[in-house]
Amino acid sequence: MDVLAKHKIFKIECKINNYENLPEDTLGQRITKLRKKNRMTKKEFAIKTGLSQATIYNVETGKTIPNMSTIRKLCKSLSISPAKLFKIDTLPEETPDEIIKKYRLMNGLSQEDLAEKCDLNKSTIKDYENGKIKGNPETIKKIYKIIGYV
C-alpha cells in the first residue's frame, strides 16, 4: 500500500536587525537604533568612533552617560547632530535654565565648554541649568549671546 504524504510549505520571514520598531525612549536606545540603521555591529561602531566596545555597550545599555566628547564621536560616526540625537527640539524653553540647557546642547557644548566661553565657573552653568540660581541679567545676556539665543 502506497501512502502519499501531504506536506505544506511554510514561509517564514524574519527581518534581522530590524531597527524600525526599536524603542528610542533613552539616549542609549536612540544610539542603538541609529547604529543598526547604519548597519554597524558594536565592533564596527567602536572602531569607527575610536571608542572601546565596552564603552559602546555601556552607553547603549544606559550603564554610562557619555560626556560631550564621546557624544561628538558617536554623532560624527552616525552622521547626526547632537541636537537630533538628544531630541533637543522637544525640550522646553520657557525659563532661563531650560533655554540655557537646550541651546547649549544644540550647539554641542558641554557645561565646561560654555563656562569657558562665558568666562564662568562650570558649577555656575550647572546651577543655572538646575534652576538653583537666577543670576544677574548681564550674565544671562552674555550666556544667551554665546549659545545663539536671541
Reported confidence tier of residue 11, pLDDT bands at 50, 70, 90: low
Cα gap 50→48, rounded to integer Å: 6
- HSE-CB at 85 with a 13 A cutoff on CA atoms is 27
**Tens-digit pLDDT profile for residues 114-143:** 999 999 998 999 999 999 988 789 999 999
Same fold flag, 27-81 and 91-147: yes
Residues in the chain: 150
Share of the chain above pLDDT 70, in %: 89
The x, y and z cell numbers of residue 101, run together, are 540647557
Q: Which CATH architecture has domain 91-147?
A: Orthogonal Bundle (1.10)
pLDDT at 16 over 60: no
Q: What is the pLDDT of residue 2?
A: 61
| Average pLDDT of span 37-62 | 96
Is residue 96 within 8 A of residue 128, CB to CB? The reply is: yes
Amino acid at 14: C
What average pLDDT is seen over the chain? Answer: 88
**What is the number of helices (H) and of strands (E) in the chain?**
9, 0
Cβ(86)–Cβ(27) under 8 Å? yes
CATH-assigned architecture of domain 27-81: Orthogonal Bundle (1.10)
For the entire predicted model, the pTM comes to: 0.67
Residue 28 has what pLDDT? 94
Sketch the domain layout of the chain as residue ranges: 27-81, 91-147
